[in-house]
Amino acid sequence: MRKWLLFSFLCCALAAFAQKDSPLALTHVTVIDGTGAPAQPDSTVVIAQGHITAVGPNDAVKIPAGTRVVDATGKFLIPGLCDMHGHLTDATEDAFPLLIMNGVTGVRDMGGDLAQLDRWRSEIDSRQRVGPHIIRAGPFVDGPKEGVTNRLTVRTPEEARRAVHDLKAKGVDFIKVHNALPPEAFFALIDEAHKEHIPVAVHLPKNVSSAEASDAGVASLEHVETLYENDLWRKGATAKTIEQAVDEILGPIGQDLFQRSMKNGTWYVPTLVAYERGFVLWSKDPESLKPRLDIHEKNIEVIRMMHKAGVQIMAGSDFSDWGMVPGVDLHNELALLVEAGFTPMEALQAATLNPAIFLGKTDTYGTIQPGRVADLVLLNMNPLEDISHTRKIHAVVLGGKFYPLASITAQSLQDAAKQ
């Protein structure tokens, strides 16, 4: 209850701090626009009607009369972050202020209660609620499973094809497949989804290999560890243990998979942080910790090779599975991507430009350029020097509204916690 009160308070506090729709200009700011271009110091960004209208050198950009000017000297501006693997239904509405305070202005929801998600989405769109843009799958398409919710249970190819039409009729943005879907039903679903032009995101079903899923034309593959689990199950598998399967992926089998993934345009969302938090950080048993730690390190190695090979990768945290924390754990994922050999710029793009490319929305999101929605994060320190500086948030701009987060954290959090 106390937690609920705290977050309700924060929602109200955020709404109170947001400014009305007056035009906004951030001046003297260093812009890291997300395109991969070098940081541009002493810039001005002008925002009106929720969109970026001008970006350029401070002395060259004209600020219209009546614009609210925020002097952002010494600060760094990046595009709003997008978590490409989250579960809002599990996280509940408590997640919204956390996401925004952490600069996460977009979420790809990977399976949940469609009616609830749509209620939240329309409340956010109509400004009754402060929250991120939501792209959602609705119910998972899965095989028979005990004790789980928000599933569309599918057993046969016919049911799979019907599921595609049912979900399309409900207006989902994409389809999320989970691991108990029988292989024949899986391939039928992908085939039908292609015909209906609906992307499919996949937690690999047992007995389907990553290579088969990539060749079938899935849009994205989720969770790095599913590469090995399914290497154990693939036809003609030689690995007998998870450790052997990891080593296979680190060898020629992995290289072949990465080449296929690039040829097929398959995206990966490794959720390294979900494995780390789920299996390593919460492990209390020394016996089980060591092998899990080894796998976590190899996960990072696999993503290093995948990235080096040129496979397209996006950042996702898998909140709130495994007790992942909405918002916070996306920053942990960015740090892990840097550990896996990404430059800080590439890690930022995994949560900004890449999601926009994946979603076909580069004209709307993902970069700081005129015409894009004004979802921005103003940082106190340079994230290109150290990716952990993405946590040093001074303010978030959401749809053109300025939320100076520091001013609500100190006293208002304390007051709320006392209740």
Residue appearing with tokens 């792209």: 135
Binders in 181-210 for Zn ion, by CB under 5 A = none
Smallest separation (angstroms) from Zn ion to the CB of 89: 11
Is residue 135 within 8 A of residue 100, CB to CB? The reply is: no
Q: Is 318 in the site for Zn ion (CB under 5 A)?
A: yes
Smallest separation (angstroms) from Zn ion to the CB of 179: 11
Residue 55 CA to residue 26 CA, distance in Å, equals 10
Closer CB to Zn ion, 318 or 375, in the complex: 318
Judged by CB under 5 A, the residue of 47, 107, 110, 200 near Zn ion is: 110
Smallest separation (angstroms) from Zn ion to the CB of 71: 41
Smallest separation (angstroms) from Zn ion to the CB of 76: 31
Smallest separation (angstroms) from Zn ion to the CB of 276: 15
Residue 303 CA to residue 307 CA, distance in Å, equals 6
Closer CB to Zn ion, 318 or 333, in the complex: 318
Closer CB to Zn ion, 173 or 243, in the complex: 173
Residues in a beta bridge with 319: 86
CB atoms within 10 A of CB 34: 24
The structure tokens listed for 390 are 């993405």
Dmax (CA) of the chain? 70
Which residues are within 8 A (CB) of 401 and not within 5 positions of it... i.e. 6 or more apart?
18, 19, 21
Q: Looking at 35-43, 94-102, 207-215, 316-324, which segment touches Zn ion (CB under 5 A)?
A: 316-324
DSSP E strands: which ranges in 270-368?
A: 312-313
Count of residues binding Zn ion (CB under 5 A)? 2
CA dist list (Å): 17 to 13, 14, 397: 6, 5, 11
Closer CB to Zn ion, 61 or 328, in the complex: 328
Residues in a beta bridge with 44: 56
Q: Looking at 9-17, 113-121, 247-255, 311-319, which segment touches Zn ion (CB under 5 A)?
A: 311-319
Q: Is 246 in the site for Zn ion (CB under 5 A)?
A: no
Closer CB to Zn ion, 78 or 274, in the complex: 274
Is residue 32 within 8 A of residue 384, CB to CB? The reply is: yes
Smallest separation (angstroms) from Zn ion to the CB of 74: 38
Q: Looking at 65-73, 283-291, 318-326, 375-383, which segment touches Zn ion (CB under 5 A)?
A: 318-326
197 — phi, psi (to 5°)? Answer: 60, 45
Residue 14 CA to residue 401 CA, distance in Å, equals 10
Q: How far apart are the first and last CA of the chain?
A: 10
Closer CB to Zn ion, 102 or 179, in the complex: 179
Smallest separation (angstroms) from Zn ion to the CB of 279: 15
Site string for Zn ion, 115-144 (x = CB under 5 A): ------------------------------
Residues at the site binding Zn ion, with contacts judged by CB under 5 A: 110, 318
